[in-house]
């Protein structure tokens, strides 16, 4: 029978390997515990979400509708649906045409230009007046 010789170097290396394996096992166990905690949190969140969804669904069906806001009637001008063509059915008086012409002469005499929008309107009114004069 042979007696094994004790080698302190081998014992030291074996101890370090065993310590390393134990450390690695501890780290793996900690990670698994963290994952278990994450799973618990996820399951809790899913259960809470499901309960709230069911509550809101049942509440929407059972409860009476509540007015959350009120819609007021829109105020509209009296003649919003009229284009202004009704006015053209009657004849334009000569005095209005004369006032427009005197306004144009006045603006020319002081050297001021008539605003572009106003100038277009004056031109249209003059055309209408001239058409009415031709049809007479």
Residue 22 has a pLDDT of: 92
Tell me, yes or no, whether 69 lies in a domain: no
Domain with 123, as residue range(s), is 87-135
**Whole-angstrom Cα distance, residue 4 to residue 6?**
6
| 16 shares its domain with 58 | yes
The total number of structural domains in the chain stands at 2
Pair 11, 58 in one domain: yes
- pLDDT band at 86, cuts 50/70/90? low
Residue at 58 is within a domain: yes
Instruction: Give the contacts of 113 (CB within 8 A, at least 6 positions apart).
Output: 107
Q: Is 1 helix (H, G, I), strand (E, B) or coil?
A: coil
Residues 11 and 60 in one domain: yes
Higher-scoring residue by pLDDT: 10, 81: 10
> Does 2 have pLDDT greater than 60?
no
The answer as to whether 74 is a domain residue is: no
Tell me whether residue 30 is in a domain: yes
Q: What is the pLDDT of residue 126?
A: 87
Q: Would you say 107 and 113 are in contact if contact means Cβ atoms under 8 Å apart?
A: yes
Give the DSSP letter of residue 7: -
Residue 131 in domain:
yes
What's the pLDDT at 106? 87
HEC assignment per residue over 45-82: HHHHHHHHHHHHHHHHHHCCCCCCCCCCCCCCCCCCCC
| Structural domain ending residue among the three candidates 49, 64, 79 | 64
Instruction: List Cβ neighbours of 97 (8 Å cut-off, separation of 6 or more).
Output: 125, 126, 129
129 vs 46 pLDDT, higher one:
46
Mean pLDDT of all residues in 59-65: 84
In this predicted structure, the answer to whether residue 88 has a pLDDT above a threshold of 60 is no
Residues 58 and 11 in one domain: yes
Is the residue at 79 inside a domain?
A: no
For the segment 41-56, what is each residue's pLDDT rounded down to a tens digit? 889 999 999 999 999 9
Q: Is residue 114 part of a domain?
A: yes
Sequential DSSP letters for 65-130: P-----PPPPP--TTTT--SHHHHTSPPPHHHHHHHHHHHHHHHHHTPPPPHHHHHHHHHHHHHHH
């Amino acid at each position: 029978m042979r007696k094994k010789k004790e080698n302190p170097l081998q014992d030291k290396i074996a101890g370090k390997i065993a310590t390393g394996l134990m450390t690695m096992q501890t780290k793996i166990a900690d990670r698994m515990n963290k994952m278990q905690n994450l799973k618990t949190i996820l399951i809790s969140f899913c259960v809470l979400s499901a309960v709230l969804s069911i509550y809101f669904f049942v509440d929407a069906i059972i409860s009476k509708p509540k007015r959350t806001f009120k819609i007021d009637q829109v105020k509209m001008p009296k003649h919003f649906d009229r284009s202004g063509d009704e006015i053209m059915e009657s004849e334009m008086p000569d005095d209005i045409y004369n006032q427009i012409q005197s306004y144009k002469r006045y603006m020319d005499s002081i050297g001021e230009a008539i605003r572009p929008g106003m100038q277009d309107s004056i031109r249209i009114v003059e055309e209408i007046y001239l058409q009415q004069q031709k049809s007479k």
